[in-house]
Amino acid sequence: MSGPDDDRGSREALARVVREHAGRLAACLVSLLDDFSAAEDLVQDAVETALRRWPVEGVPERPDAWLLTVARRRGLDVLRRETNYRAKLARLRWPEPGKADDRLRLIFTCCHPALSPEARIALTLRVVCGLGTAQIAAAFVVPETTVAQRITRAKRKIAVAGIPYRIPAPDELPERLGAVLAVVYLLFNEGYLSSTGDRAEARDLAGDAEWLAALLAGLMPGEPEVAGLLALIRLHRARGAARFDSGGRLVPLSEQDRTLWDHAAIAEATAALTRAARAHRRPGPYQLQAAIVACHAEAAGFEQTDWAQILVLYDMLLAVAPSPVTRLHRAVALRYVKGPAAALAELTGLEETLSRYPLLHATRAELLRALGDTDQARLSDERALGLTANPAQQALLHRRLDPAHGDVRYG
């Protein structure tokens, strides 16, 4: 029997195999050829060929060797005039026994701050995760030509501006690691916030983000923020099954069926987070965000949530990474510690900076409703509705504006 679910399943399995090998091959070829762009072209060509042929012919027994053969054959073909490349390619053996995983260098090059944020994401997905241009375009709902152009430009800049292929020096590392983690986090948000219900063909970007974070955690075991980001992603994903109801509608946190959460995964992620925090005692924004999510994930029910602890964590987060969006989330925690009036007062200071941010208005609506001001609450909900393009959020707000329904909270 073969239905759309089976197709999707086999497509995902295929993508996983490609993902395990494409980045390694790319890293190996960049070192060998000393030419990022040429190496990337060869790997991309092998990936596209695999994505076309494996569904028909089946995944080969040694996918890595298969990809290498296609990339090398292609290389010998297109780089005909470059005798120097040809000689190198002819010598290529891969995987090289005993050779360390070089993908970290690849990641730092792809996430270099001299590239635009969009280019960093597209390059990382293509070069490190082995996604095809069409898959990236589908995931971000942009034309394929746009993605192709972004990648071409980025590769040209790498070559012309001399963006190096190496792990940054220790004095540059904190800042550069921050740029890498930001790419993974953005990728996760993009995948996590979009409901895949109406985009069955869409790539599971949250899965790619988790895979990247795990790869980084394996390659940089001494960085607590990497561990923090991995824990954050895993804690969010562990609750994935309860976030949407059978109709694909967003279920607010307060109403989620907590028996659907993956409690083993939550325990494991929380333990990893605690280990990193104890070993390094350097709480950064990702560890703190993960700790906040862990508080929610460990509560037996919404009523048992340790809001006082969450409030403390938000204060720590604001101290290391001040942001109006974080202040907004803190206000929600404040509501359950000091009441809706105190929380509403906090929002007043955020109105100007976050006036186009739907969650500000949705939160205000909840607080006003809790204070009994249904008319003003309605206006705020309508404002939020006008600002969000996310169908799941829109549906939730519509339900809230429908007088037949009671108070539903934003998830």
Partner 1 sequence: MFAETEEFAARLEAMDELEREAAYEAVMRWFAENSEKITHHAHLAPAHTATTVRLDGGGPVVTDGPFVEGKEVVSGYAEVEVADLDEALKLARSWPACPVVEIRPIA
Binding site for partner 1 (CB under 8 A): 112, 114, 160-164, 168-169, 172
221: its two tokens:
């075991």
| Least gap, CB of 165 to partner 1 (angstroms) | 9
- Between CA 167 and CA 176 the distance in angstroms is 9
- Whether 364 and 380 have beta carbons less than 8 Å apart is answered as yes
Query: What's the longest Cα–Cα distance across the chain?
Result: 78
Which residue, 141 or 169, has its beta carbon nearer to partner 1?
Answer: 169
| Least gap, CB of 229 to partner 1 (angstroms) | 24
- Between CA 221 and CA 399 the distance in angstroms is 45
| Least gap, CB of 183 to partner 1 (angstroms) | 18
Which residue, 5 or 172, has its beta carbon nearer to partner 1?
Answer: 172
Which residue, 109 or 289, has its beta carbon nearer to partner 1?
Answer: 109
- Between CA 80 and CA 189 the distance in angstroms is 43
Which residue, 117 or 164, has its beta carbon nearer to partner 1?
Answer: 164
CB atoms within 10 A of CB 280: 16
Which residue, 112 or 409, has its beta carbon nearer to partner 1?
Answer: 112
Q: For the chain, give me the number of helices (H) and strands (E)?
A: 20, 0
Q: Which helix (H) or strand (E) holds 385?
A: helix 374-387
DSSP per-residue string spanning 316-378: HHHHHS--HHHHHHHHHHHHHHH-HHHHHHHHHTTTTTTTT-HHHHHHHHHHHHHTT-HHHHH
Q: How is residue 129 annotated by DSSP?
A: S
- Between CA 384 and CA 365 the distance in angstroms is 9
Q: One-letter amino acid identity for 261?
A: W
- Whether 314 and 329 have beta carbons less than 8 Å apart is answered as yes
Which residue, 162 or 406, has its beta carbon nearer to partner 1?
Answer: 162
Q: Cis ω on the peptide bond leading into residue 55 (within 30° of 0)? A: no
| Least gap, CB of 36 to partner 1 (angstroms) | 12
Nearest C-alpha neighbor of 63 from the set 106, 9, 24? 24
| Least gap, CB of 179 to partner 1 (angstroms) | 12
What are the E-state strand segments in 4-151? none
| Least gap, CB of 162 to partner 1 (angstroms) | 4
| Least gap, CB of 112 to partner 1 (angstroms) | 8
Which residue, 161 or 321, has its beta carbon nearer to partner 1?
Answer: 161
- Whether 50 and 69 have beta carbons less than 8 Å apart is answered as no
401: its two tokens:
């504006």
- Between CA 238 and CA 58 the distance in angstroms is 31
| Least gap, CB of 157 to partner 1 (angstroms) | 9
Which residue, 159 or 345, has its beta carbon nearer to partner 1?
Answer: 159
| Least gap, CB of 353 to partner 1 (angstroms) | 22
- Whether 316 and 288 have beta carbons less than 8 Å apart is answered as yes
Which residue, 36 or 185, has its beta carbon nearer to partner 1?
Answer: 36
Which residue, 6 or 175, has its beta carbon nearer to partner 1?
Answer: 175
| Least gap, CB of 163 to partner 1 (angstroms) | 5
Distances (CA, A) of 81 to 84, 106, 221, 307, 384: 9, 26, 43, 66, 59
| Least gap, CB of 30 to partner 1 (angstroms) | 14
Which residue, 117 or 248, has its beta carbon nearer to partner 1?
Answer: 117
201: its two tokens:
């063909």
